[in-house]
Structure 1
């Protein structure tokens, strides 16, 4: 019979005698369950990581493949050649460098404009009380339910009419395309920033008003500084959406030198008989670099911005 021989152990038959013995019997099985659980989690994480990493490796391998087709890329990194990257910048009929600069300009300006306009709208809904406030929030969500693709014809006709009066804002202009992007990105981003602004204590605004600050000063000097995480998230999402957008840019931009990366790279695979997938893959790799760099720069703000903005 097993007994507890410690000096302060209770007498046999009292409650608590069997507890140390039970722990000695249960703990090994618990440790096994914990180890099995951790092993299962690591296995799932490894499988998911491989699934996520494989397309990236395949695209990079295809961009280094000199054969001119995707068939030779099935064996990853069997042939390595930088000729596809050289060809991207050596064809005057397909000015990849201009497309890259155009995309960076349009993406950065759109991201900054989205943050500013969405922040102003979200601050108004969060801090001000006016008639139609709740209806306006609902309308923003309802409008976003309809994709921008449905309005392509209307956008084209609208930009054509504006171009007849203000040529700098009409068709085949970067400013006009930026205006279209700003109008289509305000809904979800405004609601996301609205939820984050609600988490900022209103007592800060009241203290600033006692010191004589108005709404503009409170917004630019206090709210924006406290809302850096959600601003980073909105800027990143807007930048990614602008780089990936194809339909509206292909309709509004007709000059080859003014096209964006998404529209320009499509030319490499648009023709069935002369498609060059490795060059297209090389362009896709270079197009992803700004997004990756911006993601790493804003990484510390992304998680907190998304979680805090979805609370209310």
Structure 2
């Protein structure tokens, strides 16, 4: 910081003699710790908390002994045996199952939530405000509370429509879509309201219908919130365990979270090296998707939905 102080009172004195510039390098000593230093300390602690477990899991995945106790010394032994053994297990089948379920759920959530949010934002109909309030109240209760009810409903539906019964991937996707529709609709509804209605009116004057406005104009303007909703839906579904464990039973239809749990359920004989290798590879799709959608997420948080 630079401070300008007046050193001479004579107005006829040269400008350089009347004012003096004092450069301040910033707070020092105890003041620096109270204003800036503690932030660096907190940042270092948080980096250590986040990075150390990650390094430990990577070290365990590269440890040929396949135990956590042998990984106390990070990267003391390095080998690719655990990753090679994944090809001899059901891991990649579970991986594909999780990826298909998470991708389908994310796309369905974005499309269904976007259509519902557009209807609530642009149309005026009886019961609109009550429906929005109901969506908000229903989402106050976690989906985990309805696990037993969901299982019983799927048992009943399975007697009539087997494809929507228990041990069905389609049924699991339907459960995920139903649970995520309310909160995402309410989230996107607020973002849709930031899009000026004059855009809709101008499109209607040009002869566009509601479907054309929604698919060709509105969805492009609200792409940041669509990216956020799709990313959160994919992450939440890809790593979900309780509902998938309840609905799916066949080993060939299990998701990645349920399959890895089966490996780690035996505390004494669990293949921890194999488990760690699978956990490391399971994080790759989430990281890649986050990096791909990062520019849309940042744009949605900083610029809003309309630029101009």
Question: Does the pair score TM above 0.5?
Answer: yes
Local SS of the residue matching 1:298: helix
For 1:19 and 1:130, locate their aligned partners in 2 and report how far apart those are by CA, in whole Å. 72
Which residue, 44, 47, 51 being the options, matches 2:45? 47
2:5 matches 1:20: no
| Range moving further from structure 2, 67-76 or 180-189 | 67-76
Q: Which residue of 1 aligns with 2:54?
A: 56
Could you say if the C-alpha distance between residues 247 and 225 of structure 1 is closer, same or farther in structure 2, counting changes exceeding 3 Å? same
C-alpha distance in 1, partners of 2:83/2:242? Answer: 26
**1:199 paired to 2:198:** no
Aligned to 1:10: 11
Q: Of 99, 117, 139, which residue of structure 1 is paired with 2:94?
A: 99
Query: Which consecutive residues of structure 1, in runs of 5 or more, have no partner in the other structure?
Result: none
| CA deviation after TM superposition for structure 1 residue 281, in Å | 1.0
Further displaced range: 130-139 or 106-115: 130-139
Residue aligning to 1:71: 69
Contact 2:7 2:18 in 1 (8 A): no
1:131 to 126, 129, 135: 126
Q: Is the 8 A contact 1:249 1:259 kept in 2?
A: yes
Instruction: Indicate which of 274, 277, 287 corresponds to 1:282.
Output: 277
Deviation at 1:307, TM superposition (A): 6.1
Range moving further from structure 2, 166-175 or 31-40: 31-40
TM-score scaled by length of structure 2:
0.88
Cα–Cα, structure 1 residues 19 and 125, in superposed 2: closer, same or farther, change >3 Å?
farther
Q: Does 1:120 align with 2:115?
A: yes
Measured in 2, the distance between the counterparts of 1:124 and 1:217 equals 14
Q: How far off is 1:50 after superposition?
A: 2.5
Alignment of 1:97-246 (within 5 A): 97-246=92-241
Q: CA deviation at 1:174?
A: 0.9
191-200 vs 98-107, which moves further: 191-200
Cα offset for 1:303? 2.6
Count of aligned residue pairs for this structure pair: 297
Shift in CA distance, 303/87, structure 1 to aligned 2, threshold 3 Å: same
Shift of 1:3: 4.8
- Spell out, residue by residue over 1:1-37, the C-alpha distance to the aligned partner (whole angstroms, 9 max, x if none): x9559xxx6258xxx999834x52xx32647599875
Q: 2:180 & 2:303 partners in 1: Cα distance?
A: 20
Instruction: Give, in whole Å, the separation in 1 of the partners of 2:160 and 2:304.
Output: 40
The corresponding residue for 1:90 is: 88
Whole-Å separation in 2 of the counterparts to 1:29 and 1:172: 67
Q: Supply the RMSD in Å over aligned alpha carbons.
A: 2.6
Q: Note the residue ranges of structure 2 that are not aligned, 5 or more in a row.
A: 1-5
> Do 1:96 and 1:261's aligned partners in 2 also have CA atoms closer than 8 Å?
yes
